[in-house]
Chains A and B, each alone.
Chain A
Amino acid sequence: MKILVIDREKCTGCRRCELACSFRHFKTYSLARARLHVVHTHGRESEGPVVCTQCGLCEVACPVEGAIIRKAGVVLVTVKCDPTKCVQECIAACPFGVIHFDPKLNKMIKCDLCGGFPACVEACQWNAIQYIEAGAPYALNNKRLIQVRSEKVR
């Protein structure tokens, strides 16, 4: 199973991932309807995308039978989702804040990995978001990051 992995140091803060996400799903551009977001620390050193890790805590928290299900490793919101039947426990349960209510659809939206071809990964030319096999070793090939970490260890 493949998941999204981020390399914060490579992120430039352009938010093309968010644009691509909202366009892939809704054919419009909206930051509020994107299923991931870029945290941008104003004026400071870093920015970085926050993506769904498919951890499934929303699925565990959801009180509505069959509203959030796990299918082939991907946690999906189904048509059974009805925010009137709950107090949106999924939002509280999400550690990354990447599941939210969409007023136009009248249900929750979260990352569905675009059926295996994530738009955000295609949009990120800096490779700050990668789509790789879960558990596989991957290189944060950024010399500065490694340096900073080794300094801290010492």
Chain B
Amino acid sequence: MDLALKYGYVGKILRVNLTDWNIEKEDTREDIAKLLLGGNGYAAKVLWEELKPKIDPLSPENKIILMTGPLTGTGAPGSGFWEACFKSPLTGIWGESACGGWWGPMLKFAGFDGIILEGASKDPVYLWIHNGDVEIKSAEGIWGKTVPETEEAIRGEIGVPQARVLSIGPAGEKLVMFAGIAVDYERYAGRKGGGASLGSKKVKAVAVYGEGEIEIAKPKEWENALRECEEAVKKSLATGGGYANGTIGTYDVCNEMGDLPTKYGETGHWDEVADLYYKFSSKYLIKNRACFGCMQACGRVSQVKEGPFATPVYGGPEYETTAGFTAFMLQRDIEPVIKANYLCNIYGLDTISTSHVIAFAMTCYEKGLITKKDTDGLEVKFGDPNVMIELVEKIAHRKGFGDLLAEGVRRVAEKIGGDAPKIALHVKGLEMPYHDPRAGKTQAIAYGVSNTGMDHFHPHETLDVECYGADLGLIPFGLPDPKTIDRFSEDPSKARIAKLVMDYGTIADALVVCKFHQYVNLGPDKYARLLSCATGWDVNGEKLLEIGDRIFNLARAFNIRERIRRKDDVLPPRIMQPATTGSTKGVGITNYESMLNEFYRFEEWDENGIPNPEKLKRLCLKEVAEYIAKLAGLPSNHSKN
């Protein structure tokens, strides 16, 4: 069928080789799309096929894939997302980062489902993609500019005010290992160092504008399915579901539940910030902002009007940013958070990793592992907002002490030595985000086995189920009623909950839609119906979850190829120790190993964490199965059972 990818997808992928400026427009491959949809699934397959194992993530051999999916740009709730996939410079393994904004849909309207960037340019460049045409332009004049300056300059230069710009800031150019990719000023594919990857290829920005259209295979059915979804979302929002108060609106609740890592993960609750959200919303909040196609508008726009922390009107801060720059480093006020958020955003830094390494430096300073000599004379004490702001600046420009911190917490800890590696909170090199696994034990598994490292968003934040009672529409698929789950229990059966939620989360990154819309009464069945109507395929909820499983295992295989094994699926000891305050006081993680065993059994991975070739074959990943079978030294017909 030659017209198979006409619907939902726009059918073309752009491949740009930056070494020789070669531009190719290839068809979106139907074989991949049907098995793995788009987004992270499509990218995982391409990177599996095209990347050699063990390459340096910052070398020209690495590729960055910016992908949309079959539901991006349609009327599906939360359709404004896009995915960046690459081998991460921060962790050295599979890296994916999802982001909202308006850029992803515009890429589709400009005629492409995704962009594959390979090679590396000698001089700074940016791409200008408009209605199927692609130009590579010199970015000499904008290299070094901040994110807002870059966007303004590029829109001015190309003369299209409606164009959407993806860019990196000075941090990405200077290869700060956790630099993010910004779109539309304030939306970030922040984690895992996508900004550094683009910086290593000397790509400053990708501007897109398009007047194309996305066709729907069955418009009549689509209309009905969409109406049903919209009603479900509205109903859920009306009853307090979703993120009507923004992610920062969950701050006080997280604090109450012991889900707010405090003092570099020593505990999960801090009394002094009990009413932080109230302070923020009553004084600094300006308005709510939505991404493209969003029904929740969780984005916040804020400003500090005067004082030492004055900022212009800017997006944010989100929950993670706020948690990182407050409780995690024992800092009390919201004003420095808004300032730090603004600085991270204009310099192109991931706020989670940035606040994490600063808090780590404070911990090391307190323990005497580093002294004033190492920190350029700064007193890096817990809770000092001025030091915090200064360190953000230093990291962004890799100045002095910031040059060390810019390497990410794993490398910093190795460099400092002594007890530092034992204190550092990371899995596979990715810094811990600000959800405490002690508050809900499935999160411990999710942190441990996530393909990207210690990640709350890929595949999914499982805490929401047991801590906050969200059922995610998964009850028909075997999820026990969230109200009946004991969040502190470490029963191995939690592995099943984690697996289900993670597969579901993976789908959002493949369809590519906003994960927050999974909290509002949409279940796999509704997404499956939308996908079927959009593409004309026959998909149901079960099949969709199987696709999630497939993508998760494919990314795992990618990591196995990069020599990730069970030894890497462990949690840092500091976060397993009992918390000292709040509702999780005295709760530690003691039974992690048996939960992990159960998860492995469930995934059919062997004791080393290597996927079972038989299962991979069942998931239609034949060549992956063959590679894994060879690697494990097993005959390809080997079966564990």
The reply on B313 being an interface residue by CB < 8 A is: yes
User: B291 contacts A28, CB within 8 Å?
Assistant: no
Interface centre among B75, B185, B219, B299 (most CB of A within 10 A): B75
Q: Among B219, B293, B301, B314, which residue has its beta carbon within 8 angstroms of that of A15?
A: B293
User: A30 contacts B109, CB within 8 Å?
Assistant: yes
Within 8 A of B (CB), among A13-38: 13-16, 19-20, 22-23, 26-33
The number of inter-chain residue pairs (CB within 8 angstroms) is 89
A28–B8 Cα distance when bound, in Å, is 10
The reply on A125 being an interface residue by CB < 8 A is: yes
Mark contacts of B193-227 with chain A using CB atoms, 8 A cut-off: 1 yes-contact digit, 0 otherwise. Answer: 00000000000000000111111100100010000
Within 8 A of A (CB), among B128-165: 148, 151-152
Within 8 A of A (CB), among B458-491: none
A42–B167 Cα distance when bound, in Å, is 14
Q: A29-B216, A30-B109, A44-B313 are known contacts. Are A12 and B184 too (CB-CB below 8 A)?
A: no
User: B295 contacts A14, CB within 8 Å?
Assistant: yes
Residues on A with beta carbons closer than 8 Å to the beta carbon of B287: 9, 12, 45-46
User: B109 contacts A42, CB within 8 Å?
Assistant: no
The reply on B616 being an interface residue by CB < 8 A is: no
User: B292 contacts A32, CB within 8 Å?
Assistant: no
A27–B315 Cα distance when bound, in Å, is 33
A125–B290 Cα distance when bound, in Å, is 12
The reply on A126 being an interface residue by CB < 8 A is: yes
Residues on A with beta carbons closer than 8 Å to the beta carbon of B230: 125
Q: A14-B293, A28-B213, A30-B212 are known contacts. Are A43 and B148 too (CB-CB below 8 A)?
A: yes
The reply on B585 being an interface residue by CB < 8 A is: no
Closest to B151 in A: A42
User: Which A residues are within 8 Å of any B CB, using their own CB?
Assistant: 9, 12-16, 19-20, 22-23, 26-33, 40, 42-47, 123, 125-126
Within 8 A of A (CB), among B85-131: 102, 105-106, 109
User: B314 contacts A32, CB within 8 Å?
Assistant: no
The smallest beta-carbon distance between A125 and chain B, in angstroms, is: 6
Residues on A with beta carbons closer than 8 Å to the beta carbon of B215: 28
Closest to B185 in A: A43
Residues on A with beta carbons closer than 8 Å to the beta carbon of B292: 14-15
User: B290 contacts A12, CB within 8 Å?
Assistant: yes
User: A14 contacts B294, CB within 8 Å?
Assistant: yes
Interface centre among A43, A47, A123 (most CB of B within 10 A): A43
Closest to B294 in A: A14
Residues on A with beta carbons closer than 8 Å to the beta carbon of B148: 42-43
A12–B296 Cα distance when bound, in Å, is 9
The smallest beta-carbon distance between A79 and chain B, in angstroms, is: 22
User: B289 contacts A13, CB within 8 Å?
Assistant: yes
Q: Among A20, A23, A30, which residue has its beta carbon within 8 angstroms of that of B211?
A: A30
User: A32 contacts B109, CB within 8 Å?
Assistant: yes
A28–B102 Cα distance when bound, in Å, is 18
User: B109 contacts A19, CB within 8 Å?
Assistant: no
Residues on B with beta carbons closer than 8 Å to the beta carbon of A23: 75, 216, 219, 223
The smallest beta-carbon distance between A82 and chain B, in angstroms, is: 22
User: A29 contacts B102, CB within 8 Å?
Assistant: no
The reply on B350 being an interface residue by CB < 8 A is: no
User: A45 contacts B293, CB within 8 Å?
Assistant: no
User: A29 contacts B184, CB within 8 Å?
Assistant: no
Closest to B237 in A: A125
29 A/B residue pairs, CB under 8 Å, sorted by A: A12-B287, A12-B289, A13-B290, A14-B80, A16-B294, A19-B293, A23-B223, A27-B216, A27-B219, A28-B215, A29-B216, A30-B109, A30-B213, A31-B106, A31-B109, A31-B211, A32-B109, A32-B213, A40-B102, A42-B151, A42-B152, A43-B184, A43-B185, A43-B186, A44-B313, A45-B286, A45-B287, A45-B301, A123-B75
Residues on A with beta carbons closer than 8 Å to the beta carbon of B288: 12
A44–B312 Cα distance when bound, in Å, is 9
Closest to A15 in B: B292
User: B234 contacts A43, CB within 8 Å?
Assistant: no
Q: A30-B211, A30-B212, A45-B313 are known contacts. Are A14 and B297 too (CB-CB below 8 A)?
A: yes
Residues on A with beta carbons closer than 8 Å to the beta carbon of B102: 15, 40
Residues on A with beta carbons closer than 8 Å to the beta carbon of B105: 31
A23–B75 Cα distance when bound, in Å, is 8
Closest to B226 in A: A23
Q: Among B214, B237, B294, B314, which residue has its beta carbon within 8 angstroms of that of A30?
A: B214
A61–B555 Cα distance when bound, in Å, is 60
Closest to A30 in B: B213
A126–B233 Cα distance when bound, in Å, is 13
Mark contacts of B608-636 with chain A using CB atoms, 8 A cut-off: 1 yes-contact digit, 0 otherwise. Answer: 00000000000000000000000000000
User: B295 contacts A125, CB within 8 Å?
Assistant: yes
Residues on A with beta carbons closer than 8 Å to the beta carbon of B74: 19, 29
User: B313 contacts A16, CB within 8 Å?
Assistant: no
Residues on B with beta carbons closer than 8 Å to the beta carbon of A16: 75, 293-295
A27–B314 Cα distance when bound, in Å, is 36
The smallest beta-carbon distance between B381 and chain A, in angstroms, is: 33
A15–B80 Cα distance when bound, in Å, is 10
Closest to A16 in B: B293
Within 8 A of A (CB), among B288-330: 288-295, 297, 299, 301, 313-315
A128–B211 Cα distance when bound, in Å, is 25
Given contacts A15-B293, A30-B109, 6 further A-B contacts (CB under 8 A): A14-B290, A14-B291, A16-B75, A29-B213, A42-B184, A43-B315
The smallest beta-carbon distance between B148 and chain A, in angstroms, is: 6
Closest to A22 in B: B213
The smallest beta-carbon distance between A121 and chain B, in angstroms, is: 13
Q: Which 8 A-B pairs have the closest CB atoms?
A: A32-B211, A30-B213, A14-B290, A43-B185, A12-B290, A12-B297, A27-B219, A28-B213
Interface centre among B75, B212, B213 (most CB of A within 10 A): B213
Residues on B with beta carbons closer than 8 Å to the beta carbon of A43: 148, 151, 184-186, 313-315
Closest to B292 in A: A15
The reply on B249 being an interface residue by CB < 8 A is: no
The smallest beta-carbon distance between B560 and chain A, in angstroms, is: 39
The smallest beta-carbon distance between B234 and chain A, in angstroms, is: 6
A14–B297 Cα distance when bound, in Å, is 8
Mark contacts of B7-24 with chain A using CB atoms, 8 A cut-off: 1 yes-contact digit, 0 otherwise. Answer: 000000000000000000
